[in-house]
Amino acid sequence: MGKNIIIGFLKDHKFSYIIGILFMFLSSYIQTLFPKMLGNTVDILKMSGFQPQAVYVNIVYILLIAAGTFACTYVWRNSVIRNGRSLECFLREKLFDQLQRLSPEFYSQRKTGDLIAYAINDINAVRQTFGPAASLAINGIVICLISVYDMAGTIDWQLTLVSLLPIPLIVFMMLYIGRIVKKRFRKVQKTFAAISDRVNENISGIRVIKAYVQEEKEVARFQKLNDQMVEANMDMVRISAYLAPAIELCFTVSFVFNLIWGGRMVLQGSISLGDFVAFNGYLTIILAPVISIGQVITVFQRGMASLARLNEIFNVEPEVKDGGPLAEFPEQCSITVNSLAFTYPGAEKEALSDISLEIPQGHTLGIIGKTGSGKSTLVSLLLKMYNVGEGKLFIGGKDINDFRLEALRSGFGFVPQDNFLFNASISENIRFFKDSYSGAEVERAARNSCIAQSILELPKGFATVLGERGVNLSGGQKQRVSIARALIKDPEILVLDDALSAVDTVTEAEILLNLRQVRKNKTTLIIASRISAVMAADEIIVLHQGRISERGTHAELLEKGGLYREIYDFQFRGENKPENQAS
């Protein structure tokens, strides 16, 4: 897919590339006129009784050559190099789009720092390959071919052959060193990814690091990674640094051959002094492109290594397929779970086994159980974060595999355990950056989630900008902002995945009361570790080791005296047990 993306981009920008390459050829041709004109001027000056007007004419030609080279170079660089920048933006957008499409399973196997390296270093390396490197390579090859043709055709082919004897050695060195650079650049990218991941972890976990006084140890660990990156870069620099001096050394040999052989030809009268000067001019012109081609090969190998890494991402197909025919969420939102079983990829033990449920529209289901009992897994399957077998889950009587993913998930309001807030204003976080919600709707959602008063006490109220991940809010405040984000959507199905764990019991009771009022005739699932959050539910299920061990109302489950009663007694030990609050 990655190569197809590159080909598609080149096709879409073919007109500007064609214009750029044409002017590149023209620029290269004009540059090769300079040595010939310089040699002609030398021959004129050598003549006895020469006409100054002829020299003046040649000077004008030389100035025109410089102006033409400038104009053509400006056009092709403005075209080709700009396309390289456009390619960089294009690839970054495609990569971001691909990351949005991939399933949660992909992220459980990849580190954040590695993905950041793809978006920064790898895309930049590809941009350099298909921008500056490609243009310099084409320009250099054209200049070399035209120069060699003029040297052999208009001056002397034997002198050209002798002077270019070191070229095969140069080509061999460029290819050999280029392959080594490609391997070592992969190591550089890996070390960059490791450093990015370490920085990301330290910034995210800075409070824990400080609380456990681990600053010095973290600095030492980072220094070790930094040293590894320096060493990886130095390994690459050591080998790539050989290339330019080696090319210059080979061309020095070429100039020596030219001085010996060409000087003798001038003395013998086989070629004129002007031809000899022009020949040296051609050699000088060839030197810079060959050195640049050597550097281009280094950049090209790095770019190909990066493109291969990007292809690894672009070629990953989402585990969860999006191909259902239904593009709208049903108005009738009952939920049916039929003998559902699920095992996480790579795991041997089932996370859920033989789950059967019937949740009528407008009902509230409470889900409770010990850690690892499968509560969040059930929600993940409802949202189709993982593939679900045919005939296992139904929304409004329709198999969830028949829905397009966007249609299915648009009908849910989901508040996860990990409440993620963006580095934006509180209002934007509640709106989720959608302009369709009014300020009154934002405030109403905040009131129903019992966070409005706390927000209004902030200096800028709802316009207060939160730090990264909402770092300037407490855990309970972040949970309530996340609940407001779900409530403003007014979804057909609301799922709270342990979303009240960080609030006190008084606030929890107030939020639940608000939910009962605003969620009338709409389906709600409340996953909780505290029984107080689910007592008023129409039905409660108790999950244990991936199975439904008990089900019923709060009062019915207390009478059974099973796991639910055990959790209840433990949580309300020594307190006035609110056994009748469910009513």
**374-385 per-position pLDDT tens digit:** 888 898 899 888
Task: Give the C-alpha separation, 450 to 514, whole Å.
Answer: 9
Please tell me whether residues 378 and 306 are part of one structural domain. Answer: no
Task: Give the C-alpha separation, 191 to 232, whole Å.
Answer: 8
Structure token digits, residue 449: 């989630």
Please tell me whether residues 295 and 371 are part of one structural domain. Answer: no
Task: Give the C-alpha separation, 30 to 210, whole Å.
Answer: 65
Mean pLDDT of 264-289: 78
Task: Give the C-alpha separation, 170 to 159, whole Å.
Answer: 19
Contacts of 502 (CB under 8 A, 6+ apart): 474, 475, 476, 478, 479
Please tell me whether residues 383 and 514 are part of one structural domain. Answer: yes
pLDDT exceeds cutoff 70 at 52: yes
Task: Give the C-alpha separation, 190 to 136, whole Å.
Answer: 28
Mean pLDDT of 179-189: 80
Task: Give the C-alpha separation, 559 to 565, whole Å.
Answer: 8
For residue 69, tell me if it sits in a domain.
yes
- Pick the last residue of a domain from 291, 314, 337: 314
Starting at the edge strand found earlier in the chain, the sheet holding 393-395 runs 352-359, 335-342, 393-395, 398-399
Task: Give the C-alpha separation, 396 to 333, whole Å.
Answer: 5
Task: Give the C-alpha separation, 233 to 235, whole Å.
Answer: 5
Average pLDDT, the chain: 83
Pairing of strands 493-497, 523-528: parallel
Q: What pLDDT, on the 0 to 100 scale, is given for residue 47? A: 66
Lowest mean pLDDT among 8-12, 509-513, 514-518, 524-528: 8-12
Structure token digits, residue 284: 């000088």
Please tell me whether residues 398 and 307 are part of one structural domain. Answer: no
For residue 154, tell me if it sits in a domain.
yes
Cβ(76)–Cβ(25) under 8 Å? Answer: no
3-state secondary structure of 472: coil
For residue 221, tell me if it sits in a domain.
no
Mean pLDDT of 35-40: 80
pLDDT exceeds cutoff 70 at 107: yes
Please tell me whether residues 360 and 301 are part of one structural domain. Answer: no
Please tell me whether residues 282 and 365 are part of one structural domain. Answer: no
Length of the chain counted residue by residue: 583
Diameter over CA atoms, the chain: 124
- Pick the last residue of a domain from 314, 345, 370: 314
Contacts of 533 (CB under 8 A, 6+ apart): 366, 496, 500, 508, 512, 526
Structure token digits, residue 63: 């100035």
Q: pTM score, two decimals?
A: 0.70
Question: What single-letter amino acid sits at 264?
Answer: R
Task: Give the C-alpha separation, 438 to 431, whole Å.
Answer: 9
Provide the angle, in degrees to the nearest 10, between the axes of the packed helices 14-31 and 2-12: 70
H/E stretch holding 352 reads strand 352-359
pLDDT exceeds cutoff 50 at 583: no
Q: What pLDDT, on the 0 to 100 scale, is given for residue 582? A: 45
User: Percentage of residues in the chain with pLDDT exceeding 90?
Assistant: 14
Convert 210-228 to b/e letters by CB count within 10 Å (16 or more is b): eeeeeeeebeeeeeebeee
Task: Give the C-alpha separation, 57 to 281, whole Å.
Answer: 20
Structure token digits, residue 418: 């990990």
Domain harbouring 372, CATH code: 3.40.50.300
For residue 346, tell me if it sits in a domain.
no
Contacts of 302 (CB under 8 A, 6+ apart): 125, 128, 129, 181, 182, 185
**How many structural domains is the chain composed of?**
2
Please tell me whether residues 373 and 516 are part of one structural domain. Answer: yes
Q: Which residue has the higher pLDDT, 575 or 243?
A: 243
Convert 257-288 to b/e letters by CB count within 10 Å (16 or more is b): bbeeebeebbeeeebbebbbbbbbbbbebbbe
- Alpha helix positions (H), 102-240: 104-108, 112-117, 123-128, 134-150, 157-163, 167-204, 206-211, 215-240
Q: Which residue in 6, 198, 182 sits closest to 111, CA to CA?
A: 198
User: Percentage of residues in the chain with pLDDT exceeding 70?
Assistant: 96
Q: What pLDDT, on the 0 to 100 scale, is given for residue 465? A: 87
Mean pLDDT of 270-289: 78
Structure token digits, residue 192: 């960059």
pLDDT tens digits, one per residue of 78-93: 888 888 888 888 888 8
Neighbours of 475 (CB within 10 A): 12
pLDDT tens digits, one per residue of 7-22: 888 888 888 888 888 9
Pairing of strands 539-544, 523-528: unpaired
Please tell me whether residues 291 and 417 are part of one structural domain. Answer: no
Neighbours of 537 (CB within 10 A): 22
For residue 345, tell me if it sits in a domain.
no
Please tell me whether residues 148 and 297 are part of one structural domain. Answer: yes
For residue 309, tell me if it sits in a domain.
yes
Domain harbouring 129, CATH code: 1.20.1560.10
Q: Which residue in 361, 336, 330, 414 sits closest to 520, CA to CA?
A: 361
Q: What pLDDT, on the 0 to 100 scale, is given for residue 445? A: 92
For residue 207, tell me if it sits in a domain.
no
Per the rule left: phi > 0, alpha: psi between -120 and 50, beta: everything else, 339 is left
For residue 534, tell me if it sits in a domain.
yes
Burial of 540 by CB count in 10 Å (0-12 exposed, 13-18 middle, 19+ buried)?
buried
- Pick the last residue of a domain from 264, 289, 314: 314
Range of the domain at 54: 2-193+237-314
pLDDT tens digits, one per residue of 446-477: 999 999 998 898 888 899 888 777 777 888 88
Please tell me whether residues 139 and 63 are part of one structural domain. Answer: yes
